[in-house]
């Protein structure tokens, strides 16, 4: 062997060592998607040695890799001689590699990004593609956790802690939204407002924790008796408000009466004591004379006031006098 | 001193010519990949302030809803970023074009945008790179925003540069309702080498 050949071989040797040991996955595929190179990273994570995979179709060996999806990506590489990319957001992984660190691992499997690059032969044609697989588990898990926390925070900032209903601010935002929708489409829509009769007495006679329990159970009863599309909020201390889309006043009255009767038979048990109570309800159907959202609330409030005036534990539909 | 602001006519014309040729090649490659005729507008090259880009876009109505994707490139002292703006009405056609059979949920839309960007931009930049005898490496495409007003899409990003060389190219695909605008943005940092390469071609 002459000196020059020896040097080339030597260079080739350390180049291969670098490819073998680099901490990303390297896979070279031919036009039939048969594996022609499988570096150390891939060997270690897949527990398959080169003699098990070389010359075999990547789709047969790894059924988790969707063939049509991957071919579509690879096609652009072959035809355009252009890199293609996959991200964990599109597809969490190409090869399912299980978590290997029992203590610090954050996910069950390795999230992967990948780049597919064209490899040209001496004539400038692409006969092979190189798939580079990156382990992005930490980035992915952190991002997912952040998203989850943000969703939770958003949820927390929208709801009332005691009842789980919308808090006043977010209920009012929904109200404005519904009002704007009405202006555009003039669909039917009603509002139901109610409060607990003589709530102050409950607090005074049984204590605030019992009062809280009464509010909580009222909210629970409310949730059970409205539809998914209805928008319920805790408007004030013992005051509740519900928007009932696509519902006329009479329909809302049915809901109101059902709720009123349920509450009337309800007995809240707390701290060894039983509390029985009632609610009064006001209903207002949205109409074109209400020129802003607050006017709608005022009407429902007036009806509620009328219900109180009528002796409580009843429902009243707002009418213009 | 800003090289961009002092870009002379000869250099600009040459850049225009290079891009024209590149687009011709890109059109050919894309036609083979996508089995459809690709209509590419004549590239429009201009030096723009970052605040003017949204307004200067010629092919997209600034009140309609668009999705934007960016992809960076770098190599041999030249770098930049492309931004592709897709008209939101074109998703179904885009999916047919890219041979997507999966259901188009938000995630699939995102992937579709990224793949299309990679294909359209890659095809174009390859032609430019070949002519100035360079090779670029590409970053992964990043979705900037989906279904937004053009002005909001641009507003959400603050820029660290004043003026940039912007190439605008409009893509239309025969038989598909796909309208896409591509901007290639390069800053002063790339000008020295780019102009050297162009000088070499001119002389």
Which residue ranges form the domains of chain A, and what is each CATH number?
3-144 (3.30.450.20), 159-317 (3.30.70.270)
CATH of the domain at B170: 3.40.1550.10
When computed from its CA atoms, the radius of gyration of chain B, rounded to whole angstroms, is 16
pLDDT at A250: 94
Does A113 sit within 8 Å of B110, measured CB to CB? no
Summarize the confidence of residues B112-130 as an average pLDDT.
88
**Could you tell me what percent of chain B has a pLDDT over 70?**
93
Inform me whether the pLDDT recorded for A311 exceeds 90: yes
How does pLDDT run across B21-72, given as a tens digit for each residue? 988 888 888 888 888 888 888 888 888 887 777 777 766 666 678 888 999 9
Mean pLDDT of A51-76: 93
Q: Which residues of A touch B100 (CB under 8 A)?
A: 72
Give the mean pLDDT of chain A.
92
Query: Mean pLDDT across the stretch A228-238?
Result: 93
In this prediction, residue A195 has a pLDDT band, given cuts at 50, 70 and 90, of very high
The most confident of the ranges A210-219, B84-93, B118-127, B142-151 is A210-219
How do residues A268-280 score in pLDDT, each as one tens digit? 988 888 999 999 9
Spell A166-199 as b/e; 16+ CB within 10 A means b: bbeebbbebbeebbeebeeeeebbbbbbbbbbeb
Q: What is the pLDDT of residue B203?
A: 79
Residue B49's pLDDT is what?
84
Query: Phi, psi at residue B160, to the nearest 5°?
Result: -100, 5
Angle, CA of A198, A204 and A205, to the nearest 5°: 90
**Averaged pLDDT for residues A27-38:** 96
Helices A249-265 and A208-224: crossing angle in degrees, nearest 10, is 130
Residues on chain A touching B122 (C-beta within 8 angstroms): 76, 80, 82-83
pLDDT score, position A199: 93
**A80 vs B: CB within 8 A:** yes
**CA–CA separation, B121 and B183 (whole Å):** 9
Least confident of B36-40, B69-73, B86-90, B196-200: B86-90
Q: Which residues of A touch B140 (CB under 8 A)?
A: 85, 87, 113, 115
Beta bridge pairs of residue A274: A269
Q: What percent of chain A has pLDDT over 70?
A: 99
Per-residue pLDDT at B1: 58
Please state, rounded to an integer, the average pLDDT across all residues of chain B.
83
Closest Cβ opposite residue B99 in set A72, A79, A80: A72
Picking from B91-95, B118-122, B125-129, which range would have the lowest pLDDT averaged per residue? B91-95
User: Which DSSP state fits B77?
Assistant: T
- B92 or A88: which carries more pLDDT confidence? A88
A255 pLDDT higher than 70: yes
By Cβ distance, the residue of A68, A81, A87 closest to B140 is: A87
User: CB A79 to CB B29 under 8 A?
Assistant: yes
Q: Domains in chain B: how many in total?
A: 1
What mean pLDDT comes out for the span B2-20?
Answer: 86
Listed in order, strand segments (DSSP E) in B61-125 are 65-75, 78-87
Sequential DSSP letters for A275-299: EE--EEEEEEE--TT--SHHHHHHH
> Which residue is associated with the tokens 């802690």?
A161
A-chain residues near B111 (CB < 8 A): 90
Domain range for residue B20?
Answer: 4-202
Please give the pLDDT value at position B59. 62
Nearest CA in chain B to A73: B115
pLDDT the model gives residue B87: 81
Strands annotated E in chain A = 25-30, 35-38, 84-86, 112-120, 126-135, 189-196, 231-234, 239-245, 267-270, 273-276, 279-285, 315-317
Q: Residue range A35-43: average pLDDT?
A: 96
DSSP B140: P
- Calculate ∠ Cα A97-A99-A100, nearest 5°: 105
- For residues A195 and A234, the answer to whether their CB atoms sit within 8 Å is no
Q: Which residues contact A233 (CB under 8 A, 6 or more apart)?
A: A160, A165, A166, A167, A168, A170, A171, A172, A174, A240, A241, A242
Strands lying side by side in the sheet with A231-234:
A231-234, A239-245, A189-196, A279-285, A315-317
DSSP class of residue A117?
E
Within 8 A of A73 by CB-CB distance, chain B residues are: 115
Facing residue for B32 by CB, picked from A79, A84, A90: A79
Bridge partners (DSSP) listed for residue A84 = A116
What is this model's ipTM?
0.74
Mutate to test the interface with B, among A68, A79, A86, A134 (most CBs of B within 10 A): A79
Encoding tokens for residue A288? 């074109």
Work out the average pLDDT over A196-210: 92
- Residues A84-123: tens digit of each pLDDT: 999 898 889 999 999 888 888 778 999 999 999 999 999 9
- For residues A301-315, average pLDDT: 94
A105 touching B (Cβ < 8 Å): no
Helix (H) or strand (E) holding A143: helix A137-158
pLDDT-derived band at B157, boundaries 50, 70, 90? low
Predicted local confidence at residue B62, as pLDDT: 61
**CA of B110, closest CA in chain A: separation in Å?**
8
Q: What is the mean pLDDT of residues A182-204?
A: 92
pLDDT given for residue A235 in this prediction: 94
State percent of chain A over pLDDT 90.
74
What distance in Å separates the CA atoms of residue B10 and residue B28, rounded to the nearest whole number? Answer: 27
């Amino acid at each position: 062997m002459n000196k020059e050949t020896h040097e080339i071989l030597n260079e080739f040797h350390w180049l291969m060592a670098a490819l073998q040991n680099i901490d990303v996955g390297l896979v070279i595929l031919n036009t039939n998607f048969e594996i022609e190179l499988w570096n150390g990273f891939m060997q270690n994570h897949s527990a398959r040695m080169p003699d098990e995979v070389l010359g075999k179709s990547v789709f047969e060996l790894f059924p988790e890799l969707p063939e049509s999806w991957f071919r579509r990506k690879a096609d652009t590489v072959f035809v355009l001689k252009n890199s293609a990319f996959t991200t964990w957001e599109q597809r969490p992984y190409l090869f399912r590699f299980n978590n290997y660190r029992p203590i610090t691992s954050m996910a069950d499997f390795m999230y992967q990004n990948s780049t597919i690059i064209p490899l040209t032969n001496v004539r400038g044609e692409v006969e092979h593609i190189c798939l580079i697989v990156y382990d992005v588990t930490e980035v992915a898990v952190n991002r997912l956790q952040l998203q989850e926390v943000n969703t939770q925070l958003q949820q927390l900032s929208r709801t009332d802690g005691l009842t789980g209903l919308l808090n006043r601010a977010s209920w009012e935002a929904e109200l404005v939204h519904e009002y704007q929708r009405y202006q555009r489409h003039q669909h039917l829509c009603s509002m139901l407002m109610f409060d607990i009769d003589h709530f102050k007495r409950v607090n005074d006679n049984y204590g605030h924790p019992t009062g809280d329990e009464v509010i909580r159970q009222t909210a629970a009863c409310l949730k059970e008796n409205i539809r998914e599309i209805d928008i319920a909020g805790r408007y004030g201390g013992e005051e509740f408000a519900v928007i009932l889309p696509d519902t006329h006043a009479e329909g809302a009255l049915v809901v109101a009466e059902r709720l009123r009767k349920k509450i009337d038979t309800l007995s809240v048990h707390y701290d060894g004591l039983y509390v029985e109570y009632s609610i009064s309800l006001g209903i207002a159907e949205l109409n074109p004379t209400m020129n802003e959202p607050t006017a709608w609330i005022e009407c429902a409030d007036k009806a509620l006031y009328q219900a109180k005036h009528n002796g409580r534990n009843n429902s009243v539909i707002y009418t213009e006098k | 001193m800003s090289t961009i602001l002092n870009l002379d006519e000869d250099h600009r014309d040459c850049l225009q010519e290079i891009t024209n040729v590149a687009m011709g090649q890109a059109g050919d490659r894309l036609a083979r990949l996508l089995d459809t005729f690709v209509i590419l507008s004549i590239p429009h090259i201009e030096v723009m302030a970052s605040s003017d880009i949204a307004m200067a876009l010629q092919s997209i109505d600034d009140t309609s809803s668009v999705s934007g994707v960016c992809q960076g490139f770098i190599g041999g002292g030249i770098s930049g970023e492309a931004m592709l703006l897709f008209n939101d009405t074109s998703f179904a056609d885009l999916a047919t074009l890219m041979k997507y059979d999966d259901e188009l949920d938000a995630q699939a839309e995102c992937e579709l945008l990224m793949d299309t960007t990679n294909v359209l931009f890659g095809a174009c930049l390859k032609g430019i790179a070949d002519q100035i005898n360079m090779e670029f490496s590409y970053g992964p495409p990043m979705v900037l925003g989906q279904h937004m007003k053009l002005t909001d899409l641009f507003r959400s990003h603050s820029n660290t540069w004043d003026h940039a060389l912007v190439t605008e190219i409009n893509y239309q695909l025969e038989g598909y309702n796909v309208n896409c605008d591509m901007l290639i943005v390069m800053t002063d940092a790339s000008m020295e080498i780019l102009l050297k390469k162009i000088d070499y071609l001119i002389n």
